[in-house]
Amino acid sequence: MRTAYHEQLEALTTQLGDMCGLAGVAMERATQALLQADLALAEQVITDHEQIVAMSVRAEEAAFVLLALQAPVAGDLRAIVSSIQIVADVDRMGALALHVAKIARRRHPQHALPEEVNGYFAEMGRVAVELGHSAQEVLLTRDPEKAARIREEDDAMDDLHRHLFTVLMDREWRYGVAAAVDVTLLGRFYERFADHAVEIARRVIFQVTGHAPEEEELPAPR
């Protein structure tokens, strides 16, 4: 009975990792669609999002079945409750990639971004994809040290987001209000994608150690 239970829990963890991988792929494609004004790629992200939604529903149902039928305690209870929270984090990561793709589609055939900020979003996209991969690795390996280091990657995203605002606030900004709104929203989407990757790492640390680290307890960037 317990062997079957742990197999089901392992299957749930694998499913969460797969979802995280899909969210990373979605953000990678959404970024390409954004930078290249690629309508076909944007549409692919929008269509593929249904797969993440369906997987989220199945993962959440599996977690609640384990709670209801196995009455887990201690570490097993932490693992299942954290998994339910991780489902929500990964689902949101997929939704944020979807939002990027929708802006790219809405502005097509024009580019949504002024050329001046393309470099920022290319780098933000790269960091977001790396964070998605790191979160997937942490989910599958349950390595608390690797989880703690995700903050360093998130700091890079925060720096890019701050620098982007200096461009937006420059009095020489000449691209109009609509472009400023798009850039502001897009910057927020990438920042939140990274934040959810960090939350996944926190939840893995809690699963493994029973301790949920506060921001200041994570290692400082090197």
Q: Is 210 left (phi over 0), alpha (psi -120 to 50) or beta?
A: left
How many C-beta atoms lie closer than 10 Å to residue 114's C-beta? Answer: 16
The superfamily (CATH) of domain 2-217 is Phosphate transport system protein phou homolog 2; domain 2 (1.20.58.220)
Cis peptide before 114 (omega within 30 of 0): no
Question: Which tens digits make up the pLDDT trace of 140-199?
Answer: 998 999 998 898 889 999 999 999 988 988 878 888 999 999 999 999 999 999 999 999
Radius of gyration of the chain (CA): 19
The stretch 20-24 carries a mean pLDDT of 96
Maximum average pLDDT range among 28-37, 65-74, 160-169:
28-37
Q: How far is residue 165 CA from its own chain's centroid?
A: 21
pLDDT tens profile 72-97: 667 778 888 889 999 999 999 999 99
Q: For residue 76, give every residue at least 6 positions away whose Cβ sits within 8 Å of its Cβ, in sequence order, or none.
A: 5, 9, 70
Q: Using CA atoms, how far apart are residues 40 and 26, in angstroms rounded to an integer?
A: 13
Residue 77: predicted pLDDT: 82
Residue ranges covered by each domain of the chain: 2-217
Q: Report the candidate in 38, 25, 36 with the shortest Cα–Cα distance to residue 118.
A: 36
End-to-end Cα distance, the chain: 46
> What global pTM score does this model have?
0.90
Residue 222 confidence (pLDDT):
35
Total Cβ atoms within 10 A of residue 65:
13
Provide the greatest CA pair distance for the chain: 67
